[in-house]
Amino acid sequence: MKKFSLTIIFTLILTLGLISFANAAALDSQKDKVQWLGHSACLITTEKGTNILIDPWITGNDTCPINKESIKPDMIVVTHNHFDHMGTDIPYFVENNTNCMVIVQNDVVQALKDLGVNDNNIITGGMGLNFGGQVEVKGIKITMVQAIHCPSAAGYIIEIEDGTTIYHAGDTGIFAGMELLGNLYDIDLALLPIGSIFTMDPYQAAHSLNLLKPKKVIPIHYATFPVLVQDATEFVKLSKKIAPSVSIKVLKPGEQLELNEK
Ligand SMILES: [Zn+2]
């Protein structure tokens, strides 16, 4: 009798264990994710399945491990009109994905139209957005913020459906206003350029963490061109010293971070 009870208890424990394992696996597939596609290109996939593609330099980006056909963006966010950010695939994405909206700074709109993108697919009916402006697209709130690079260069604060907030800095040097961004927005993840020459170098990027106060950071915009910093070693070393509370996530192009992960 005792042996029989023990068998039942053991079976129960095993069954419950298997159920919770299956649930955990199911939950995993629904988490918010950010995939680095090399250089400045990043793909956010929310737990609701919304795909936000930032700086879509896919074709021609030798570090991007996937092709444009495997990306199904609901919206595309462009930080500025340089080839390594705008790319040439936007017309393809817009034609092949229903109501795919492109979010750009006002001065970049004409370049998009020259590529063949029409007003219906450009935010605010073809006018674009300017600094401080916020739009809501398919439940995603996108705010354009300053970047120090070229006149139309922007960064973006992206708040997804569950409130998780992601800052993509675009191409920028460090600037004092980053402290204001850190005060105004509760940044869960910062995507920061560290490659130097055209953007912040590892030293500035590490110091920017103290201004932005994100919970996590993924370094981007390095190891693509020979003139850029070739790995994240220095950035990691400096960040651990300068901003020890920030969790640093170094990805290889194609790898993704689950945002709910510690
Ligand atoms: Zn760039």
Quote the ligand 1 centre to 10 CA distance (angstroms). Answer: 58
Distance 151 CA to ligand 1 centre (A): 14
Ligand 1 center to residue 198 CA distance, Å? Answer: 7
Query: Ligand 1 centroid to 84 CA: how many Å?
Result: 6
Q: What is the pLDDT of residues 76-125, one digit of tens each?
A: 999 999 999 999 999 999 999 999 999 999 999 999 999 999 999 999 99
How many Å lie between the centroid of ligand 1 and the Cα of residue 60?
14
Instruction: Locate the domains of the chain by residue range.
Output: 1-30, 31-249
C-alpha 221 to ligand 1 mean position (Å)? 7
With a cut of 90, say whether residue 182 has pLDDT above it: yes
**pLDDT per residue over 197-225, tens digit each?**
999 999 999 999 999 999 999 999 999 99
| DSSP of 86-118 | H-S-HHHHHHHSTT-EEE-BGGGHHHHHHTT--
Is 3.60.15.10 the CATH number for 31-249? yes
Res. 260 pLDDT band, cuts 50 70 90: confident
Number of alpha carbons in the 13 Å side-chain half-sphere of residue 9: 6
User: How far away, in angstroms, is 63 Cα from ligand 1 center?
Assistant: 14
Which residues, in sequence order, are bridge partners of residue 247? 216
